[in-house]
Structure 1
Amino acid sequence: MSAVSIQILRVIIVIALLGSLMVQVLLVPSGWRELTGPGGGGPLSYALAVIAVLGVAALQVIGVSILRLLVLVRRGRVFSPRAFRWVDLIIGAVAAEAVLVFAVAVTAAIANRTHPGDELAPGAIGMICGLALVVAGVALVITVQRQLLVQAVEARDRAATLQSELDEVI
């Protein structure tokens, strides 16, 4: 990965993280005031607010983890056990996002039963469930990539051992 690509990705992630902080600092408190004020939402509104906050937090974990991996890439240390911690955090956060997307579908289905007239189309709920499956699939793809990282680290360690043995022989 070129230095320019790494720098561009870092800038994009930092901008996204700053945007998510703005959401947490500015939008969440005002939204919460609307929920708890007169005529505020009911339990389903609270559930959606909590899901949104947790979703943003999971995205922040992913962003910070990718930034840490980019530091390892820049230093030429991405093929090390230190990278596993960050990849594992990404896998966990993406899996959590899948659960949160599914929670949105469940909340919408409950709202359909308890608030007739404000219904979300069953097809839309099905599409949200499908999105949850896609996000879970992304977590599985990252898990496969983690296994490739494990194999690369093992191969590098084996090569270093063989090089050491060869140096002793020579």
Structure 2
Amino acid sequence: MRLRPKRSTEGDVLHVELVPRVRNYGARMMRPIVVGAPSAELTATAGKLVELQDRQIMAIKPGALARDVDAIMRRGALDTGLRPTYENVTAYTLGLYTCTPRTSDVSRVFLPTSNWVLEEGMVFHLYATARGLGFSETVVVDKEGGTLLTKTPRLVLAPNPDGRW
């Protein structure tokens, strides 16, 4: 049996995740790209995910409990109806990757049961998904709070009406 590739059609969403390494330190960033113009529902979902992620980033500071930061995204997505359930983690540690093919480190994750304390200098990959969209960021814990290490705007990427980016 021959498999035929699926053609992308208007409204399809492609997730692009970049996994750069600088001096063997890993970082990650994910953005959704829509074929054609994003629907009002996609745009609204993206706005809510980014808003919840911004609230998480503001809560990331030395002394914060991981479960409290997790609850911002998890409860927010459930309470607003963005997701019916939320089984996955909302963040995990990133670090130094010298000899391993792994691109992430799950030794510390954000879950409702994560009773450990954030410390200055820790680096996390925050990600949020709902209704077919996903956004992720790399964030470091600074004295004043979470600092984004990624600078790409968090929005649904789409071509201009003329088809150009």
After TM superposition, the score normalised by the length of structure 2 is: 0.29
Which has the higher Rg, Structure 1 or Structure 2? 1
Structure with greater proportional strand content = 2
Quick one: higher RCO (CA 8 Å, sep 6+), 1 or 2?
Answer: 2
Structure with greater proportional helix content = 1
